[in-house]
Amino acid sequence: MAATDFNAGPVSVREIETLVVVALRHLPEAADTLVTALRAVGISAAPNPGQVLGQNPWALWRSPSEVILLATHRNHADSAAAAMVDTPLACAVDQTDGVLALELQGPQLDDLLLRLVDSRSLPLSPRTASRARVADIAVTLVRLESDRLWMLAERPQADYLMNWLKHAGAALEP
């Protein structure tokens, strides 16, 4: 068990060490380049707001000019980046080293998150994602299953975020 693996009350939390995180950014004139980059990794279209497309790699909408590509293999990120290399209006930014990726899992997952996140910011359905704030930390929440979610945050916030998860989880203990 890694140092970042722990229980937040009845919810297990573990770091996803193999997750590659790449921001695919583009100006409106380069929207086709984004779709080309996504097709290079097997995703046929750009996701809509709140939507997660694909099954390793995954693409999630972040803003009108940004899609986040998540993958467990570096070759997916490399393929997407290569598809954007000749376009000055689009780029791929590897954020892997700066992102802490946590997987939260358990039947009381939503109870834990509702102690930390505004209920309107919580992705409720599988294959949805949202941006939220946890204890004043910007995070991206990716709902994979009803009781499993990924939380992405800036790596320097790791200790603070994990302490908040433990604190909120302790309130769920019987």
Domain total in the chain: 2
Does residue 62 contact residue 26 with C-beta atoms inside 8 Å?
no
pLDDT single digits (tens) 99-133: 999 999 999 999 999 999 999 999 999 999 999 99
The closest alpha carbon to 67, from 146, 148, 54, belongs to 54
Q: What is the pLDDT of residues 124-142, one digit of tens each?
A: 999 999 999 998 899 999 9
Record the pTM. 0.93
Assess if residue 67 is contained within a domain: yes
Same domain, 24 and 88: yes
- pLDDT of 2 higher than 60: no
Q: Tell me what pLDDT residue 3 has.
A: 60
Looking at the domain assignment, is residue 1 inside a domain?
Answer: no
Place of tokens 């909120």: 168
- The dihedrals phi and psi of 43, each to the nearest 5 degrees, come to -110, 125
Residue where one domain finishes, among candidates 54, 69, 96: 96
Residue 171 has phi, psi (to 5 degrees) of: -70, -15
pLDDT at 1 > cutoff 80: no
What integer is the mean pLDDT of 84-91?
A: 92
